[in-house]
Structure 1
Amino acid sequence: MQSRSLKTKTVTVFIIILYCVSFTFAFLLSIWFNHYYFVSRKKQYDMQAKVLVKRYVKTLKNDNYDSRKRLHDDTILVGSYVDADVFITDNMGYVSTESNPKFKNIEFQNFMAPDIEELRQGQSIEKKGAYKDVFKEDMYIYMRPAMDNGMFKGAVAIFTPISQMRLELAKIYSLIWSLAVLIGMAGSYLMYYFTKKIITGPLDEINKAATKISKGEVERRVYLKCNNEINELAEAFNSMADSLEKVEKNRREFISNVSHELRSPITSIKGFIGGILDGVIPRDKENYYLSITYEEIQRLTRLVNDLLDLSAMEAGKFTLSITEVDVNEIIRLCVIKFETRINEKKLKVDVVLEDEHLYVFGDRDRLIQIVTNILDNAVKYVNEGGNIKISTRTRSDKVLVSIFNDGPQIPDEDLKNIWERFYKSDKSRTSKQSTGLGLPIIRNILTQLGQDIWVENGKKYGVTFYFTLKKV
């Protein structure tokens, strides 16, 4: 409905504009043609009047029957040519010759008395209106004086009914306005067609796809065969749809993973406690199974805490207490914390720290969490008797921390996924202590600090995690 409304509004506005322009053009063209028509008529009348003036002056100089007859014939011919009534008067304003026999009765009458003085000045006259008792309707009147050597000898007068001229103009006006309407209709159709094809049609496709996506069909896409801003909109829409599909996929995987991670410890807890209550587990084994249950509860607690931390980070509600922290001291504390596990696997740990103290800006507890998590992965995946190297060094205004282990390399297809929630590159070797949320959490922490973290495989063996911190 919204798309159709947009289509209707867009086409309606375009049509209104088109008709306004078309009718305005027709109106201006009509005004121009009206002016052009009367100017042309005046030129035509003036040209024919000149011919009659010459013939009249010549007749006055050679006054005989033949010359008078020729003047009369020429007057009739001019009247027929210009489709008007033509009169020739003498210098007193009396009619001597007329083009229409019905005006024979006004011969030798003082016909031009109202205008004779102006004509004697040698000026042509153009006016509109009735004329004495001869023409009671409005006429277009043109008079030209007949001058010979500066002397006024008479005049030629041409009379055309205004109604006749308006009838001729009306035919032209009807043609102009008909063309304006036809142009408006043709333009409206073309406007509708191209608006639908170029604008509203593609928008309808995008709207339909958006409706499908809103109903859960996140794989729906829009493919347009155009090269304009709407195509860019479609590409942006498809990009958004890709993101939504990825988000939906992540959401489903997240729910699946959370369900699995929660179900596993809950099932164990329920089974062991149920066995104890039912007496299936011997009393001398109860403490053993209770200890396992306690570990599962701790695992469940870690998972819930990690989920809450990650949710707070993604919601922007996770706050850090930024202070000056000695990163070298944190590394020493973390290595000491892992001493038991290091000795159990007979690992060699090489700690190379720049200076005795190296201060950075950060949240102490969260920095401990970052180093602990990465070091935990290093200890977990390195082979027995393997090597771990931890180092810090200054780069400009940053401190670069690297933690290397010479264990198996991370497959290339896993490198880009290790930052995803619940992702475990080697599920068979991942202990129950891992929730699969450690790396996403530490990346979020470093992102809030405005720092980076990345991982690289060695040239032949081993894996190194790098992260930066702001140096004090």
Structure 2
Amino acid sequence: MPFGLFVLLNLGGALLFGPLLKGSAKNTVIFVLLLLILLIADGAIGYGLYRSAIARQMILKGIALINEGNLTHKVDESGMYGDELILARAVNSIGESVRTAVETSMKDERLKADLITNVSHDIKTPLTSIINYVGLIKRENIHDAKVREYIEVLDAKSQRLKQLTDDLVEASKISSGNIVLQWEKINLVELLNQTIGEFSEKFEEKALYLVFHAPKSVVYIEADSRRIWRVIENLFNNIFKYALSGTRVYVDLGFLEKENGFKQVMLSVKNISAQPLKVNPEELTERFIRGDESRTTEGSGLGLSIAKNLTEAMKGKFEIVMDGDLFKVNLIFPMLDEA
């Protein structure tokens, strides 16, 4: 029953029975005592309801803070009783359980990242020697065609292993948050032209015809030069591995409308996939997920994941759009002025 209605009923009862008790001093005393008892009861009930309302507000506030990520918050249980106390203890227990789970997960992630980094570095040391010695052997005048073929295979496989270890190190740095960016003013048109030039021979191997559309003026963004190159390189490698031979690859650089007062640049890369796209776009940016379920192509399943995480680390947006066999990646960055 609402407290205000309860008070009104008590006062109404007192006014109703009050005239019946009049007529003598004794009846007056009884009436006054009855009125005092009702007021004390109303006060006690009102205080209890007030404390209950405060307790509910504290519990709701605690739930909101835990939901926002403040897992160390504790609801003050002092002065609570009944259902409010049970609920407050349950909220505190849930918060503690989530905090413990998050700490354990973060610790496991750090240990896994450290393990990957250490193993990758241990592999890179002998691998660098292998690559260097293969390079020296390739300079020798070897007449045996079979031996030259073996050397080419050894060179290709060692380079692939080097790329894999680099991917593992990069992925572990991103997952552990141990990545330092060197911010620079980057001319995106110039960077794309350089990348297209470096991949021209690889695309010709698969008869991929690249169509590049970009503004005639320079387009500047703020990014880490090595990391933005890695993003574009991963996207082009993905095209080389999975695009259908004999098709066109479109690379479009354009502008978007201003968002929060800043003009944006969008880089769009699209191609026709050689394999059916049977996965969701979100799954392709998870680590070790590949669009080629048969695994007939070489790859680690880290390329798009690294590209997405590096893009977001450089204040950009990364999105994948799939329509049938059409595979498209959009990168969006805030644009810098030419000055």
1:320 partnered with 2:181: yes
Alignment partner, residue 193 of structure 2: 332
The 2-side partners of 1:360 and 1:236 are apart by: 41
1:406 partnered with 2:272: yes
The 1-side partners of 2:111 and 2:188 are apart by: 36
Per the alignment, in what secondary structure is the counterpart of residue 283 of structure 2?
Answer: coil
Residue segments in structure 2 that go unaligned for 5+ positions in a row: 1-84, 135-143
Residues 409 and 462 in structure 1, CA contact (< 8 A), matched pair in contact too? no
Residues 405 and 463 in structure 1, CA contact (< 8 A), matched pair in contact too? yes
Residues 324 and 362 in structure 1, CA contact (< 8 A), matched pair in contact too? yes
Residues 110 and 176 in structure 2, CA contact (< 8 A), matched pair in contact too? no
Alignment partner, residue 163 of structure 2: 302
CA gap 1:246/1:454 in 2 versus in 1, 3 angstroms: farther
Q: 1:386, CA displacement in angstroms?
A: 1.5
Residues 317 and 331 in structure 2, CA contact (< 8 A), matched pair in contact too? yes
Alignment partner, residue 153 of structure 2: 292
Alignment partner, residue 442 of structure 1: 307
Within 5 Å, give how 1:423-434 maps onto structure 2.
423-432=289-298, 434=299
Aligned AA for 2:306?
I
Residues 456 and 463 in structure 1, CA contact (< 8 A), matched pair in contact too? yes
Alignment partner, residue 362 of structure 1: 223
Aligned AA for 2:159?
Q
Q: Could you report, residue by residue, the CA deviation over 1:19-44 in whole angstroms, capped at 9, with x for unpaired residues?
A: xxxxxxxxxxxxxxxxxxxxxxxxxx
CA gap 1:461/1:307 in 2 versus in 1, 3 angstroms: closer
Alignment partner, residue 327 of structure 2: 463
The 2-side partners of 1:227 and 1:454 are apart by: 45
Residues 171 and 306 in structure 2, CA contact (< 8 A), matched pair in contact too? yes
Q: 1:419, CA displacement in angstroms?
A: 2.1
The 2-side partners of 1:355 and 1:232 are apart by: 59
Identity of aligned residues (%): 18
CA gap 1:290/1:406 in 2 versus in 1, 3 angstroms: closer
Q: How well do the aligned residues superpose, as a CA RMSD in angstroms?
A: 3.7
Within 5 Å, give how 1:118-133 maps onto structure 2.
none
Alignment partner, residue 189 of structure 1: none
CA gap 1:229/1:289 in 2 versus in 1, 3 angstroms: farther
1:231 partnered with 2:90: yes
The 1-side partners of 2:155 and 2:180 are apart by: 31
Q: Could you report, residue by residue, the CA deviation over 1:181-217 in whole angstroms, capped at 9, with x for unpaired residues?
A: xxxxxxxxxxxxxxxxxxxxxxxxxxxxxxxxxxxxx
Q: 1:455, CA displacement in angstroms?
A: 0.6
Q: Could you report, residue by residue, the CA deviation over 1:148-176 in whole angstroms, capped at 9, with x for unpaired residues?
A: xxxxxxxxxxxxxxxxxxxxxxxxxxxxx
Q: Could you report, residue by residue, the CA deviation over 1:336-384 in whole angstroms, capped at 9, with x for unpaired residues?
A: 2221232232223221213331111112222222112112212322212
Residues 409 and 457 in structure 1, CA contact (< 8 A), matched pair in contact too? no
Residues 277 and 325 in structure 2, CA contact (< 8 A), matched pair in contact too? no
The 2-side partners of 1:315 and 1:245 are apart by: 11
Q: Could you report, residue by residue, the CA deviation over 1:378-397 in whole angstroms, capped at 9, with x for unpaired residues?
A: 23222122221111122222
Per the alignment, in what secondary structure is the counterpart of residue 310 of structure 1?
Answer: helix
The 1-side partners of 2:109 and 2:171 are apart by: 18
The 2-side partners of 1:446 and 1:321 are apart by: 14
Q: 1:439, CA displacement in angstroms?
A: 2.0
Residues 382 and 405 in structure 1, CA contact (< 8 A), matched pair in contact too? yes
CA gap 1:471/1:249 in 2 versus in 1, 3 angstroms: closer
Alignment partner, residue 384 of structure 1: 245
Q: 1:240, CA displacement in angstroms?
A: 5.6
The 1-side partners of 2:247 and 2:95 are apart by: 50
Within 5 Å, give how 1:55-70 maps onto structure 2.
none
Q: 1:315, CA displacement in angstroms?
A: 3.5
The structure whose RCO (Cα within 8 Å, separation 6+) is larger is 2
Residues 109 and 175 in structure 2, CA contact (< 8 A), matched pair in contact too? no
Within 5 Å, give how 1:57-96 maps onto structure 2.
none
Q: 1:399, CA displacement in angstroms?
A: 1.0
CA gap 1:284/1:402 in 2 versus in 1, 3 angstroms: closer
Residue segments in structure 1 that go unaligned for 5+ positions in a row: 1-225, 274-282
Residues 308 and 318 in structure 2, CA contact (< 8 A), matched pair in contact too? yes
The 2-side partners of 1:246 and 1:416 are apart by: 22
Alignment partner of 2:282 out of 408, 416, 419: 416
Within 5 Å, give how 1:189-338 maps onto structure 2.
228-236=87-95, 239=98, 285-338=146-199
Residues 255 and 264 in structure 2, CA contact (< 8 A), matched pair in contact too? yes
Instruction: State the TM-score, normalizing by the size of structure 2.
Output: 0.56
Alignment partner, residue 349 of structure 1: 210
Residues 360 and 470 in structure 1, CA contact (< 8 A), matched pair in contact too? yes
Instruction: State the TM-score, normalizing by the size of structure 1.
Output: 0.41
The 2-side partners of 1:461 and 1:305 are apart by: 30
Q: 1:405, CA displacement in angstroms?
A: 0.8
How many residues in Structure 1 have an aligned counterpart in Structure 2?
227
Residues 330 and 367 in structure 1, CA contact (< 8 A), matched pair in contact too? no
The 2-side partners of 1:442 and 1:303 are apart by: 15
Q: 1:319, CA displacement in angstroms?
A: 1.9
CA gap 1:409/1:389 in 2 versus in 1, 3 angstroms: farther
Residues 187 and 218 in structure 2, CA contact (< 8 A), matched pair in contact too? yes
Aligned AA for 2:227?
R
The 1-side partners of 2:107 and 2:318 are apart by: 23
Aligned AA for 1:468?
I
